[in-house]
Structure 1
Amino acid sequence: MNPFKQLLIVASTLVSSTLSFAQIPQVAATWTGLYNDEQKISLFMQQKGTDITGYSLLNGKQTNFKGKIQQTDLNHTLTLNEIGQGASVGRFILEYKGNTSPIEAQWLPTTKTVKPKFFSLNAQQCKYAKGQGEFPDASVRLLKDADLQVPLGQLQYMRNEIYARHGYAFQNKNWATTFSQYDWYMPCYTNVDTRLTQIEKENVKRLKMVEPYAKEVDWGR
């Protein structure tokens, strides 16, 4: 073969490969959104070329997945297959339009005993939600007796809000649903004990100590 023609073929192949690689977007590593209009789900991804590995967090449970990103028309589709067995295992189909746009997502089960889910995800980083919530003081100063003279439900809320600010993924459905309504809350960790400050640890202790003496509802005297 003519050396010049061979050089053109090699150059053409390199350009084609470069263009193909350039078309692969770098997907943001963390996404979150309302999974079933009640609880938040977070997806954590590591990308190497077109290969995606990672895990989801829902109801305090971590489920690993792996899959690929493929170009479809002007957008890209991520197909992520969950690793494991059982009716709760399935795959995510994510329509990716860029890190600044919401992902239109669906989760499809492997069996017909669980219905599919359709939801949206937004790119969001895990970070401490400083100053957020109804009772941010519980994370910055020690609670006094006057702060603790409130109904049982409020004491429990204050205690769990400390964990929520650190991105705790609640297993309890009621608390997972309660905090899912806040934009600042993102489930990121199955355990945040080592992330709590000494003030927060002491306040959690104090809240637990007074909860047995509090009333469910504060009526009258």
Structure 2
Amino acid sequence: MAVATGRRKLRNPLALAVMVLLSERAAMHPYEIAQTLRRRGKEYSIKINYGSLYTVVQNLEKHGFVEFAEVQRHGNRPERTLYALTAAGREEMADWMADIISVPVHEFPIFETALSLLGVLPPDEVMELLDQRLSTLEVQAAATRAVLGKLSETLPRIFLVETEYQLHMVEAETEWVRGFRKEIADGTLSGVAGWRQWHETGEVPAEWRELENEDHSRE
């Protein structure tokens, strides 16, 4: 059974990635972990700070999820400490993965925040800003397709599903933003007349005030 995310000792997704890689191999050095993540293109889906990777590994060791395995020596190169996944780490990894995949979590994206407060800007300005966003989204979609195509030359699809998901989400947002912008432009968006009235006259539409009164009456 999955453990509630809020009770986890570690919440950094990079820690989860470290445990997953250690589950594939008997032992790895943090630098090797970083190189593997880079080869698999995971910097596009996981916020990887290679400088803090050693700290992440140390925290995993502190909580008993990884342990010292051996010291590796190659000629005159500096010694490297290899780490292995513990039984507790394997259980934590599996529970954490199950939790993330099975339980949708609302993450409060900043774009949703802006949409919830959209009325403060005039409709025409919003349409211009949405046009800018559409241009950026189209560039992002093209870049993600290029990354996906490049990575698919050397990696099996199982390592690329998160990039496919990213592309799908960008394309879905592009379609929604384009449709929403059209509704503002042609006046079919419910409430757009009052929205324009507010910015043209400086007065909050009467129907908006009535909505507030209805909310107060329910309290």
Coarse TM-score class (shorter-chain normalised): under 0.3
Q: Higher helix share goes to which structure?
A: 2
Q: TM-score if structure 2 supplies the norm length?
A: 0.24
